[in-house]
Amino acid sequence: MAILPHHNPTLKPLYHSRTTHHIPLPRRICCSTTTTPAKTRGDKIIVNEPAALVQNVATVSTRPVLNDPTLQSTWSHRVWVASGCTTVLISLGKSITTAVDSHIWIEPILAGFIGYVLADLGSGIYHWGIDNYGDSRTPFFGTQIEAFQGHHKWPWTITRRQFANNLHALARAVTFTVLPLDLICNDNAALLGFVGVCSGCIMFSQQFHAWAHSTKSKLPAAVVALQDAGILVSRSQHAAHHRPPYNNNYCIVSGVWNEFLDSSKFFEALEMLFFFKLGARPRSWTEPNSEWTEETESTSLISQL
């Protein structure tokens, strides 16, 4: 992705994306100009940049340890997951009973399918946002930002995270969002079907994400079949997100949007918009360093001995 320096009237503009522009300033950033397949870096623009203009990179989570209590579920986590599942089931139940009473099935089924497709898109946009902006001090989202950014260094920890621990944050958001809709809507089968499927996929997206990091031999046969069919994000597709340049394949429900979003440079356009309007640089614009280069499970655990 092309990175342009902060506006400075004394500097000449870059005339096209392949131009290498040298400015005698102390710091240097190397970034890809395109959202490329995971194994290629694409053309690069090298722009000298003063250190003061470079966005601070968040410090990732502390090194995981054996039997890490932060990966275990608490009763609070379980209550929120139960609450989120209940609100989703209420939406789906109301949608089905309304469809049975009205003998209209096409609309709620179609609405549910749209909810499933849009949940994947939403997961990608959210994943992109917390991967690239903010840190542990960011209000409301700080904990998730720290976890996702640390996840790039220790991606295997998600497979050790217990079910409710992994889902409780999204389940809490689903509860507060969906419960009012459940109380208000009683006879709109299509809307309830959309809400139930979309919110359910969003809530369970972190579990789909965890399965995408698991080895095939450790997954239930049904999960492997769903991944192979493209209904859930596959292991091979998500693995591309964890290889340089770390700026693609963000969607983690089905992954159906990944190819389109990457080829259309959707996230690159958002990054440029945020940069010019807010002066915010995404982490993907900086060259990967030791804080977000993957450390294998064996290496991490051996270092604790």
- The string of DSSP letters for 18-81 reads T-------SEEEEEESS---TT----EEEEEE-GGGSPPPPPPPPPP-TT-GGGS--HHHHHHH
Identity of the amino acid at 255: G
DSSP 8-class letter at 303: T
Task: Walk along the chain (305 residues) and give the pLDDT tens digit of each residue.
Answer: 444 444 444 444 443 444 444 444 433 334 333 444 444 444 444 344 443 333 444 444 555 555 678 889 999 999 999 999 999 999 999 999 999 999 999 999 999 999 999 999 999 999 999 888 988 888 888 787 877 766 667 777 888 889 999 999 999 999 999 999 999 998 899 999 999 999 999 999 999 999 999 999 999 999 999 999 999 999 999 888 888 888 899 999 999 999 999 999 999 999 999 999 999 999 888 866 555 555 555 544 444 44
Q: Where are the alpha helices (DSSP H) in 221-296?
A: 221-228, 235-241, 258-263, 266-278
- Residue 45 is assigned to a structural domain of this protein: no
How many CB atoms within 10 Å of residue 186? 10
Domain with 108 in it: 74-302
Sole residue written with tokens 């965890």: 210
For residue 87, being part of any structural domain is answered with: yes
Tell me whether residue 230 is in a domain: yes
Q: Is the pTM of this model over 0.85?
A: no
Query: Is 231 a member of any domain?
Result: yes
Any domain includes 49: no
203 located within any domain: yes
Give 32's strand partners.
44
Residues pairing with 44 in the sheet:
32
Q: Please name which of 88, 77, 141 lies closest in space to residue 119, comparing C-alpha atoms.
A: 88
Quote the number of domains for the chain.
1
Query: CA nearest 133: which of 118, 144, 123?
Result: 144
215 lies in a domain?
yes
Taking alpha carbons only, the member of 175, 173, 168 closest to residue 77 is 168
Q: Is the dihedral of CA 144, 147, 152, 157 positive or negative?
A: negative
Does any domain span residue 48? Answer: no
pLDDT for 276:
96
Nearest Cα neighbor of 282 from 234, 250, 240 is: 250
